[in-house]
Structure 1
């Protein structure tokens, strides 16, 4: 059991590393293609990558051994199940894909106005926003969550408002808005994932995301094959690793894990994005911005800690 927990923790850490370093790929990709084009192509690649994975994992579930396939699939008959199950799967993929397209588009546009490190931390605010949005689902939050919200607000001020009020950058606002939608996306995934095959759901959401992003790309950006080929490396990384591999590893790693521990490990993508921006792009943050990053990260950690239950008399 302990070995399984250690393995799952490693998979989640690897997921955080892939997602954190993907901010570099997203930033570099903007040198060649525009936001909607980048997201549309990467999502299409991610969906195509997951198609053979669905059938591979379904075949593995036919064996009697417990394997990652058993963790990924509740049933090997997901695509050939009842009409109600198929309807839930495709409707869930549609909802997830639309929200993901909006969130990733805001994030991708925002990255072009700020550094990789700041983008990573502002995106990580979704960890704090999720419990707040959960209030609308009649789920109460612990005092630690409210403390984390207050800390996050202070950290965001230091990180995004270096020159006082009124100087919040356009990119910062777009990233914060994208973070809000990523929080919504997490809640939508939380609703549909227990009812659907996880890999199939991700595959459909990426196809929907690709279509939603490519429509404005052809209308406003006029993408060319030459520009896409010039950005093949960051697009391929973001499509195969960030979309395909990252989401698959998350599904495997979270099975059997305490959700608090899983969320905390995944939130390390923000710190990894800062490290990746420094190592690969040579980007740095000021002392004020680093302090804001530290406070935001503390808020993220506090939001994941369990609050001791009150003792009954």
Structure 2
């Protein structure tokens, strides 16, 4: 495996870890503020956290050199708007659904984007190796054992999570196309601004905001904004400049494993034999996908 590919894989795995821990933060945030308020503030915080990075890169002339070297198919604001709209779809559906359904079911259904990504890629002329397909199937089976109970039923929020999975898949594919054509940090910041504005507009008309609620949700918002958004989504954009979309989806699906670990660490949730089997299958899916890339390189 080439050094650039390994670096991209490690960045995607770190992104999955941060997102996995964010499930606990998102659930805690919903206890104090509305889902659109929570998402709006955290994406705004994520965008603000990138401004010093952009200015630092510009002072070193790195950002400006990247901007000048890239051949953009359309203006930057179009790319930011497209990525932000798709990101809003996935993030809003997931956050609202967590009010009505369990984190386990939400994790499994959201993880279906692992299968959806290569299917979308086929329509776009992208090739997924057999190892990617097998790795994706292992990951989905692992998600099932990890997240779904024996009495699987469609709860009120499950339909929203399922729809959100299509948005997450679209976001992975879209970034795989946009990231090599636009500056990664600026693109991340731009999509966060779009996502935050839409969330806050909806929150203004549909949710009540209090100072007590903001104080209670302060730490979940800080983690969900500065870390889960500002750091993790930027790592995703940077990593997907070199990662295969189907392979990236398998690695990013590891967030469910980290979500289970985060639930145990922060919320005292336990993981039984069924969950351990799911974690093993998820790891197997990741390793099979990586081995497929090693043979291809």
TM-score (normalised: structure 2): 0.81
1:139 matches 2:123: no
**Which 10-residue stretch deviates more, 181-190 or 278-287?**
278-287
- Matches of residues 85-164 of structure 1 in structure 2 within 5 Å? 85=72, 87-147=74-134, 159-160=147-148, 162-163=150-151
1:22 aligns with: 22
Q: Does the 8 Å CA contact 1:20/1:120 hold for their aligned counterparts?
A: no
**Runs of 5+ consecutive residues of structure 1 not aligned to the other structure:** 63-69
Q: Separation in 2 of the partners of 1:17 and 1:49? A: 19
**Which 10-residue stretch deviates more, 147-156 or 268-277?**
147-156
* 1:257 Cα deviation after fit: 6.7
* 1:245 Cα deviation after fit: 1.4
TM-score (normalised: structure 1): 0.77
1:218 aligns with: 204
* 1:52 Cα deviation after fit: 1.5
1:33 matches 2:30: no
* 1:24 Cα deviation after fit: 0.8
Cα 1:247–1:149 shift into 2, 3 Å: closer
2:217 aligns with: 231
Q: How many residues align?
A: 293
1:279 matches 2:265: yes
Structure number with greater Rg is 1
Cα 1:153–1:268 shift into 2, 3 Å: closer
* 1:31 Cα deviation after fit: 0.4
* 1:98 Cα deviation after fit: 0.7
Q: Separation in 1 of the partners of 2:144 and 2:160? A: 15
Q: 1:7-64 CA distances to partner (integer Å, 9 max, x unpaired)?
A: 666544433321111111111101001111111111111111111111112223x3xx
Aligned to 1:170, the other structure's residue is in SS state coil
Q: Separation in 2 of the partners of 1:256 and 1:154? A: 27
Cα 1:108–1:46 shift into 2, 3 Å: same
- Matches of residues 164-243 of structure 1 in structure 2 within 5 Å? 167-243=153-229
Q: 1:264-308 CA distances to partner (integer Å, 9 max, x unpaired)?
A: 544332211100011211224665566566556655665565286
Q: Does the 8 Å CA contact 2:114/2:136 hold for their aligned counterparts?
A: no
Q: Does the 8 Å CA contact 2:142/2:277 hold for their aligned counterparts?
A: yes
**Runs of 5+ consecutive residues of structure 2 not aligned to the other structure:** none
Aligned to 1:139, the other structure's residue is in SS state coil
